[in-house]
Every structure is written in structure tokens, then in C-alpha cells.
Structure 1
Amino acid sequence: MTQDMDELLRVTALLRERALESYRRDLAEESRLQAEQARIDGLRQATFAESDSLDARRLLGADTLWQGWLAQRRGEINQGIAMARARQAHSAAAARLAFARDEAAKEVARREAAERRDARLAEDDIRLDALSRLATYDPDR
């Protein structure tokens, strides 16, 4: 039974680690998208800071196209962040479940070990009691 329990503990630990890795990947994806969004916001702010100058980009309309592209890309990033957060919620729930299963398996293993220890101690107690009776046995009585 202990070999089965050891295998169960290994499997639940592996499943927990996989679930946590999936959650970490989802967190990293959201962080990457937020960093890209911050970079785009920085580009937009820099463009607005230069708004008092009339340069060739503005005269050709490239600035409007650029702002349109930035707005479109920002929307795509926002959508990606929303999807990353949805995946993150799903992977967090899976990680919590895997963690709970792993903890439950560890608790079952601890209880089994305690039961085996208690049974071994009870057997030892019976043997010691029998030995003490033999040691105090007086055949002349």
C-alpha cells in the first residue's frame, strides 16, 4: 500500500507543478501584453508632446495613420489582456484544485503512516507486556 501511496504522491505533485506552470505562463503572457501596452502608450504620449510642431508626417497625414495603427494595436492588446486574464482565472482554478488534491494525498499519506506507527507501537506494547509477564512469572506460585 505504501508504494501505491508514494506513486499517488508523485502524481499529485507532478499535476500540481504542471498546473502552477500553466498559471505562471498565463501571468507572464499578461505581463508581456501590459508591457507592450505601456510601450504603445509611451509612443502615443511622445507623439502628443510633439503636437505643437508641424512636421512632414503631419503634413502627409502619416501621423493620423500612425495614431490609427496605435489605437488599433492597443485594442488588440486589450483584447489579448482580457483573454490572458480569462485563461489566468481558469489556470488559477486548476492550480488550486491540483494543490488541494496534492495536500489531500499528503494528508492521507500522513494518516496512513500514523496508523502504521500506532499499529506497530501497539504490537510492541503487547510484546513488551508479554515479556514483562514472563519475567515476573513464578512457576512455584
Structure 2
Amino acid sequence: MSAAPDLGALVALTAAQRDRETARLGAVLAEEGRLRAALARLDAQAKAARALPGTDLAGLRGIGADMAWQGWVARQRAALHAELALVRARKEQALPRLRAAFGRAEAAAMLAARQAAARQGQERARAALGLEHLALLRHARGGDHMS
């Protein structure tokens, strides 16, 4: 029977793949957070503008600046939502890759742990067999006592 391959390299490789996919998802999540924060800021600005007293806006309304502002807010909101949709699509693509990489890393770690346990068991069995052979040799020589 041939010796089992050392799984340390496999464990390291799958862990590196898992870490790479985790970093990729982290970047996507950071971008999603940035876009959500930008949307929240835009909403807060729009709410603050709506809360201004009508007398403060009279001059702006007279030149149509209030409509321009509302149009700008609507365009910004639409652009942010479109970008957020793209980021969420990237996130949905990244999640299965991360799950698969995580599963491979866990499986490799389990296999390595089983291999290590099996090797320890084999070493214990060899040691026990050696002790048994030593006891048989002592008994065969008639030296059933310890020297």
C-alpha cells in the first residue's frame, strides 16, 4: 500500500482560495455600503430641502432652481440605484463562489485531520506491536523478568 499524500498543500491552497473569495466579497460589500450611505445622504439632503420654509424658497422657485434641484436629486437617486443594482448582482454571483471555496477549505481541513488521526493511530499500533514483539523475545529467552 502506498503512503497517503500529505494534504498540507491542499489545505493551504483551499484556504488561500477561501481567503481570496472572502476578500472579493468584502470589496463588493464595501461598495454596497458606500452606495447605500450615498443614497441615505441624498435622501437626507432632499428631506432637509423639503423642510425649508416656503419663504426661503421663494427666490429659488422664481428662477426654477427648485425644479432643477429636484431633477438633480431624482437623477442622482436613479444613478445610485442603478449602480447599487449592479453591485447587488455582483454580490449574488460572489456568494456561491465563497460558499464553494469555504466548503472546499473545510473538506480539505477535515481530510487532513482524519489523515493525521489515522497516522497517529498507525504509529500507536506500530509502537504496541513493537512492545509486543519485545515481550515475546524476552519470554522466548526465558527472561520473563525485567533487567
Post-superposition CA distance 1:80-113 (Å, at most 9, x none): 1122112112112111111100000001111111
Partners of 1:134 and 1:24 in 2: CA distance: 64
- Superposed, 1:82-101 pairs within 5 Å as 82-101=85-104
Worse-matched range after superposition: 65-74 or 111-120: 111-120
Q: CA RMSD in A?
A: 1.4
Partners of 1:57 and 1:29 in 2: CA distance: 35
Partners of 2:141 and 2:116 in 1: CA distance: 39
User: Which residue does the alignment assign to 1:109?
Assistant: 112
Letter of the aligned partner of 2:45 in structure 1?
A: L
- TM-score w.r.t. length of structure 2: 0.87
User: Which residue does the alignment assign to 1:11?
Assistant: 13
User: Which residue does the alignment assign to 1:137?
Assistant: 140
Partners of 1:43 and 1:55 in 2: CA distance: 19
Q: 1:56 deviation in Å?
A: 2.4
Partners of 1:32 and 1:73 in 2: CA distance: 14
- TM-score w.r.t. length of structure 1: 0.90
Q: 1:51 deviation in Å?
A: 4.9
Worse-matched range after superposition: 79-88 or 95-104: 79-88
Give percent identity, aligned residues only.
Answer: 35
Q: 1:138 deviation in Å?
A: 4.7
Post-superposition CA distance 1:5-49 (Å, at most 9, x none): 221111111110110011111111111001100111011111111
Gaps of 5+ in 2: 143-147
Aligned residues: 137
Paired residue for 1:33, among 23, 32, 35? 35
Partners of 1:43 and 1:79 in 2: CA distance: 20
Letter of the aligned partner of 1:35 in structure 2?
A: A
Gaps of 5+ in 1: none
Partners of 1:134 and 1:16 in 2: CA distance: 53
User: Which residue does the alignment assign to 1:63?
Assistant: 66
Partners of 2:10 and 2:63 in 1: CA distance: 68
Partners of 1:42 and 1:55 in 2: CA distance: 21
